[in-house]
Amino acid sequence: MLKPQVHYQSNSTITNRRAHFLLPKSFINGKELASLLVVKSSRSPFNKARRYIRAASEPTTIKAVEDVPQQSIKVKALVTVIQTIGGLLTSLGIERGLDDIQDLLGKTLLLELVSTELDPKTELEKPTIEGFAHRVRQESGDVKYEAEFEVPNDFGDVGAVLVENEHHCEMFLQDIVLDGFPHGPVNVTCRSWVHSKYENKQKRAFFTNKCYLPSQTPIGLRRLREEELALLRGNGQGERKRGERIYDYDVYNDIGDPDANLDLARPVLGGKERPYPRRCRTGRPRCQSDPSLEKKKKDFYVPRDEGFSEIKHLTFSAKTLYSLFNALVPSLGNVIGDAELGFPYFRAIDSLFNEGIQMPPLSRQGFWKTIMPRLFKVITDGKDVLRFETPQTSERDRFFWLRDEEFARQTLAGLNPYSIKLITEWPLKSKLDPVIYGPPESAITTEIIEAEIGGIIKVSEAIKQKKLFILDYHDILLPFVRKVRGLKGTTLYGSRTIFFLTPSGTLRPLAIELTRPPMDGKPQWKQVYTHNWDSTGCWLWRLAKAHVLAHDSGYHQLVSHWLRTHCATEPYIVATNRQLSVMHPIYRLLHPHFRYTMEINALARESLVNAGGIIESSFSPGKYSMELSSAAYDEMWRFDHEALPKDLINRGMAVEDKTAPHGLKLTIEDYPFANDGLILWDIIKNWVTDYVNHYYPDPSLVVSDQELQAWWTEIQTVGHRDKKDKPGWPELKTPEDLIEIATIIAWVCSGHHAAVNFGQYAFAGYFPNRPTIARRKMPSEEPTEEEWNSFLEKPEAVLLATFPSKLQATRVMAVLSVLSNHSPDEEYIGEEMEPSWADDPIIEAAFEKFSGRLKELEGIVDERNSNKNLKNRNGAGIVPYQLLKPFSKPG
Ligand SMILES: [Fe+2]
């Protein structure tokens, strides 16, 4: 209820009321026309039962059809609209002129205040109070609009504001502050696009920053809360248009483009045959050549508020990405020409970082440099030169990529720290069908391992002491070998790489096994390589390492990065928007973690993981890349193992130990990713715990929260439908369950993603360290005499021919350079407080604690990186491990 009024009205006539409704003179003077309150009984489609009290611009149109209360307070709404590219202020032409007139008339935005209460007499929703907001000033990129309202004293608290955009183009509303209430201002954070009323008559509803569980929703807002969710869910029909806000699901039926070329047909991912998470539904027309697939279109729909920020100074990152895929990547093809041309010698690889590649001028000289200053360093004679930055890794140690200890160290502190596993069973054996894939026993024998360890320990003892580890790409890759070998310019093996944990706590690679299944009438082939002490053995070892690195590189990109962080997250985002109201505290907890993910995923479907895209054309599995990612989802992915502690336990990299920090004892003490990651996991979990406990003080509230239950059910049964009957889905019955689920989602979007994303250029920019593809089989695999001799004659040439081609390497380098760079508007975890958190002192304090602990982690990471005893992150030429530093800056 509103407290005592600020000003009193006479209870006599309408005229008397009219006098009181007059707004301050400043609104009447000059070009701003007078605004008066008009009582009106019109209805909006949003608000069937509501009646309105309107502030209008014409004093003569005042009508009274309501029994206006005798006492009211004056409330001012200050609306902040952000100046955007393509939005409000830069649109040109006739509509702009009309919009200017609307601004001058003071009719830019029609606001309606919604009460949290029902009318006690009618038990219907109270009439809303309408008022036109008019432009008052511009402050840098923000434009301020104001409206004034007379709010009847018995109106109740304002719970929402309905907004109608009177302009001809959409506007980006930052927030609305309602000032004048005795208990302080009411904040409404919008951060959303509001469509023009000429495109869609539906009014936008923005709720105040106060969080409510569904059962606690004030009675006056209940219908609005449900209607808003229904709008966001849509009806699952028709093609989604730009500007819409509908969140729905579909399978991955848009990777291929068979109408353009039948070679670009790709199977649908999602379903029994090829399980996959769901993507956001776009509803595009079907392909003529294959109606199970959606037609490729230039514009990929994403719900309006999921798009990149269009705020003027923040458009850089979006522009850079679009230019990368639509201009730079195709241009590289034109400049380099022969797609299969490799690097003739290592000096040619170095030249990418020195002389660079001359690019044809695009539209105007200097264009490239403006868009991608990190990549384009020099402009000479009217030509832009693409010169790659030397990655930090090779800047510090030019030969880092050649060293075995660095190869092993990167499994713990590199770009893919998610694959290394403890060996718990010996001998190694495949689980694949021997009839199809040949004998399952590994060729890595006890004798080989004991000889490599140097006889200091038996294999059985090493396993008991947890000293043997594996990078196992055998069973996941072997089923793809035949298919991939049918493609031009690539090859594949199943691989196993064994490591030994040395007394100094570092890993030493012992053996690599490469396997080819029976094919083309030939039996299974496999060979074990060790770091031999003869020249031929040494070169074969280097070549085998290149194959394993290509496997790891593909697995990293398709599984650790794309599948587990980007693709698996999309259903969480869709479900959160469909099932949790923006007023729901869990919506507000998770929403900041989802920023831009859907837009980036759409861009990836358009240019990275699509048929013929960067991944297919540059990674070993070629056109089977996405099928490989589907196989990994089917066999390995489960929700509960996405929690860092469970993931580590699952890989044998940690065991539960209540006496150890974080309740876990690491198998390799100096495992930089796990050590930093566990602190971050705990910090996130503590914050989520404080947050959940605040909103769910009574444990039974979790079960009775219908939105929350629908959300969790939808994630399992729709978003991750192909996994719904598989293990790994925690129940959602208690606050503890909710804490674990929300922490997993937040961790995957923050820590997990940072660990596998931001080091991409540092570790893979100098591609010999992580080739994305091995284009040639090993010279030792059933070679012709000529093949073997040419290997003996010039092994370096074989290694260069195995590496990616010049076009493959440079395209990937350009993409990694952009993707691993933090965007200028990057949001750092714990840096910016959500407005709704700031409105609640308990949550505000919990957030301050969260933020403080993240700052502590910064210091801990620095301290660890300078600790000489931690040899997996400190040593000659080693780049410090900073990928999980919460506030690490672009790099
Ligand atoms: Fe990413």
Q: Cα(774) to centroid of ligand 1, in Å?
A: 23
| 300 vs 609, more confident | 609
Global pTM? 0.90
Residue 296: the pLDDT is 84
Residue 495: the pLDDT is 98
Residue 85: the pLDDT is 56
Report yes or no: 296 and 260 within 8 Å, Cβ to Cβ.
yes
Q: Cα(318) to centroid of ligand 1, in Å?
A: 14
Q: Cα(344) to centroid of ligand 1, in Å?
A: 32
| 357 vs 256, more confident | 256
Residue 142: the pLDDT is 84
What does the pLDDT look like over 509-552, one tens digit per residue?
A: 999 999 999 999 999 999 999 988 999 999 999 999 999 999 99
Confidence band of 596 (pLDDT split at 50, 70, 90): confident
What does the pLDDT look like over 857-877, one tens digit per residue?
A: 999 999 999 999 999 999 999
Q: Cα(771) to centroid of ligand 1, in Å?
A: 19
Q: If we measure between CA atoms, which residue out of 809, 13, 707 comes closest to residue 332?
A: 809
Is the predicted pLDDT of residue 397 greater than 50, yes or no? yes
At what angle are helices 841-865 and 672-695 packed, to 10 degrees? Answer: 170
Q: Given the structure tokens 């930052």, which residue do they identify?
A: 174
In this prediction, residues 97-110 reach a mean pLDDT of 67
Q: Cα(561) to centroid of ligand 1, in Å?
A: 6
What does the pLDDT look like over 774-792, one tens digit per residue?
A: 999 999 999 999 999 999 9
Q: Cα(562) to centroid of ligand 1, in Å?
A: 7
Residue 40: the pLDDT is 31
What value does the mean pLDDT of the chain take? 87
Q: Cα(756) to centroid of ligand 1, in Å?
A: 7
Residue 297: the pLDDT is 79
Q: Cα(753) to centroid of ligand 1, in Å?
A: 6
Token pair for 350: 């170095």
Percent of the chain exceeding pLDDT 70 equals: 85
Q: Cα(65) to centroid of ligand 1, in Å?
A: 57
Is the predicted pLDDT of residue 97 greater than 70, yes or no? no
Buried b (16+ CB within 10 A) or exposed e, 219-243: ebbbbbbebbbeebebeeeeebeee
Residue 148: the pLDDT is 95
What does the pLDDT look like over 307-319, one tens digit per residue?
A: 876 654 444 566 6
Q: Cα(415) to centroid of ligand 1, in Å?
A: 12
CB atoms within 10 A of CB 572: 25
Percent of the chain exceeding pLDDT 90 equals: 72
What does the pLDDT look like over 791-826, one tens digit per residue?
A: 999 999 999 999 999 999 999 998 888 877 655 555
Q: Cα(757) to centroid of ligand 1, in Å?
A: 5
Is the predicted pLDDT of residue 105 greater than 70, yes or no? no
Q: Cα(604) to centroid of ligand 1, in Å?
A: 10
| 88 vs 334, more confident | 334
Residue 34: the pLDDT is 28
Q: Cα(806) to centroid of ligand 1, in Å?
A: 24
**Range of lowest pLDDT (63-67, 453-457, 714-718, 870-874):** 63-67
Is the predicted pLDDT of residue 563 greater than 50, yes or no? yes
Is the predicted pLDDT of residue 476 greater than 80, yes or no? yes
Is the predicted pLDDT of residue 442 greater than 50, yes or no? yes
What does the pLDDT look like over 41-60, one tens digit per residue?
A: 333 333 334 444 444 333 33
CB atoms within 10 A of CB 138: 12
Beta-bridge mates of residue 359: 384
Residue 138: the pLDDT is 82
Report yes or no: 173 and 80 within 8 Å, Cβ to Cβ.
yes
Residue 203: the pLDDT is 94
In this prediction, residues 291-307 reach a mean pLDDT of 88
Is the predicted pLDDT of residue 104 greater than 80, yes or no? no
Q: Cα(563) to centroid of ligand 1, in Å?
A: 10
Residue 309: the pLDDT is 67
Is the predicted pLDDT of residue 571 greater than 60, yes or no? yes
Q: Cα(761) to centroid of ligand 1, in Å?
A: 12
DSSP reduced 3-state for 151 = strand
Tell me the fold of 7-208: Lipoxygenase-1 (2.60.60)
Is the predicted pLDDT of residue 379 greater than 80, yes or no? no
Alpha helix positions (H), 425-530: 434-437, 446-453, 459-464, 478-485
Q: Cα(683) to centroid of ligand 1, in Å?
A: 22
Confidence band of 168 (pLDDT split at 50, 70, 90): confident
* Cα–Cα distance for residue pair 192/195, rounded to 1 Å: 10
Q: Cα(778) to centroid of ligand 1, in Å?
A: 32
Is the predicted pLDDT of residue 157 greater than 50, yes or no? yes
Q: Cα(82) to centroid of ligand 1, in Å?
A: 27
Q: Which long-range contacts (CB under 8 A, 24 or more apart) does 310-315 make?
A: 310/84, 310/85, 310/86, 310/87, 310/172, 311/82, 311/83, 311/84, 311/85, 311/141, 311/172, 311/825, 312/83, 312/84, 312/85, 312/141, 313/141, 313/824, 314/824, 314/825, 315/85
Q: Cα(820) to centroid of ligand 1, in Å?
A: 8
Q: Cα(852) to centroid of ligand 1, in Å?
A: 26
**HEC states along 188-216?**
EEEEEEECECCCCCCCEEEECCCCCCHHH
Residue 839: the pLDDT is 87
Is the predicted pLDDT of residue 641 greater than 60, yes or no? yes
Is the predicted pLDDT of residue 651 greater than 70, yes or no? yes
Alpha helix positions (H), 399-469: 404-413, 434-437, 446-453, 459-464
Q: Cα(259) to centroid of ligand 1, in Å?
A: 30
Residue 605: the pLDDT is 93
Is the predicted pLDDT of residue 281 greater than 70, yes or no? yes
Residue 101: the pLDDT is 58
Q: Cα(792) to centroid of ligand 1, in Å?
A: 41
Q: Cα(598) to centroid of ligand 1, in Å?
A: 11
Q: Cα(749) to centroid of ligand 1, in Å?
A: 9
